[in-house]
A and B are shown apart, each in its own frame.
Chain A
Amino acid sequence: GAGVSQSPSNKVTEKGKDVELRCDPISGHTALYWYRQRLGQGLEFLIYFQGNSAPDKSGLPSDRFSAERTGESVSTLTIQRTQQEDSAVYLCASSLSVDTQYFGPGTRLTVL
């Protein structure tokens, strides 16, 4: 079946611009996670959606970062006024439980 998809696969933007990243989870998965991975580093948790509960935003690095999810479907991660340190791969994962997360291929963001 279809896995987690993310778009765009690559995004190059200029410093100060806003960007929107999209994640389509596996159908029926109630949980959705966003992570950031800088070059050569491990994954950094950003935000977690679980069903209709209030999202866990504890990993968002600044108020320039926000994310939305409509029900149990697509999620968008928005970064406003991008900075060069925002350059990274942004990974989305969905799951039925925290034990087994299925990851998308990621969006590589480059801020010039």
Chain B
Amino acid sequence: DAKTTQPPSMDCAEGRAANLPCNHSTISGNEYVYWYRQIHSQGPQYIIHGLKNNETNEMASLIITEDRKSSTLILPHATLRDTAVYYCIVSRGAGNNRKLIWGLGTSLAVNP
């Protein structure tokens, strides 16, 4: 199973970009990288996912290295409401049988 490694915690100043790294050096060619976040006492929230190309949506950007062994989630202008645990996840399996294998995530604190 592919596993991910994330720093346990990070700080970011409000209004600045938050860059959250993730290592997934054993990822296989057909495994996707997903990012979810979990605000305190809530269920996780999907952010973004990708296979090998960089992706952007209204919430964030995902930069995946060419060798796919690491990725970075970018929150371009962090707000206090972005304080949460951010999970970098790789899938296991194929098609509808893909499952998400969750690690411990990075606890991001956005400071005023």
B19 within 8 A of A: no
Contact mask B35-54 → A, CB, 8 Å, 1/0?
01000001111100100000
Contact: A99 with B43, CB < 8 Å?
Answer: no
B17 lies within 8 A of chain A by Cβ: no
Please report the total number of B residues contacting A with Cβ < 8 Å: 21
Report the bound CA distance from A44 to B98 in whole Å.
Answer: 15
For residue B13, CB closer than 8 A to chain A, the reply is: no
Chain A interface residue count, CB cutoff 8 Å, equals: 23
Interface residues of B in 9-50 (CB under 8 A from A): 32, 34, 36, 42-46, 49
Is A52 among interface residues, defined by CB-CB distance under 8 A?
A: no
Given contacts A99-B34, A100-B46, contact A42 B104 (CB under 8 A): yes
Question: What 9 additional pairs, Cβ within 8 angstroms, besides A93-B43, A101-B46, A106-B43?
Answer: A43-B87, A43-B100, A43-B102, A48-B99, A50-B97, A91-B44, A101-B36, A103-B43, A105-B43
Q: Is the CB of B44 within 8 A of A98?
A: no
Given A31-B96, A50-B96, A56-B97, A102:B102 Cβ within 8 A: no
